[in-house]
Structure 1
Amino acid sequence: MRIVADTDVCVGAGQCVLTDPETFDQSEEDGTVIVLAEHPADEQKARDAVHICPSQALKIAE
């Protein structure tokens, strides 16, 4: 499993960071998502974060 983020679509809501702070962070500059771990250790937390993303900026590549 690999996480893919589209920062052009990201609205900076931060739900991904709240759900899985080991995999996601936010840019200090504009608040958009930063993927810390393309291959997350806790796949379920990462899936939950992708699922709740309000702008659908996150995708999972199997």
Structure 2
Amino acid sequence: MKNSDSKHGGPDRGQGRKPLDPQSATVSFPVKMSIEQREKLKRLGGATWVRKKIDVAKEPTHE
């Protein structure tokens, strides 16, 4: 039996993961990789590490 006064679960406001930056929209981008690559990515810092690498990477030049 579920208690209706419970603070757990349900479709209340504020549920779910909070945005990284409330001013910017975010998207998911699935990437295929090997199990070994996934484990290394976790050790490197996961999504936070990837976002930092993207932010500091230079744009390619087109000739």
Question: TM-score, normalising length from structure 1?
Answer: 0.21
Indicate the structure whose relative CO is greater, using CA pairs within 8 Å and at least 6 residues apart. 1
Greater fraction helix:
2
Structure label with greater radius of gyration: 2
TM-score, normalised with respect to structure 2: 0.20
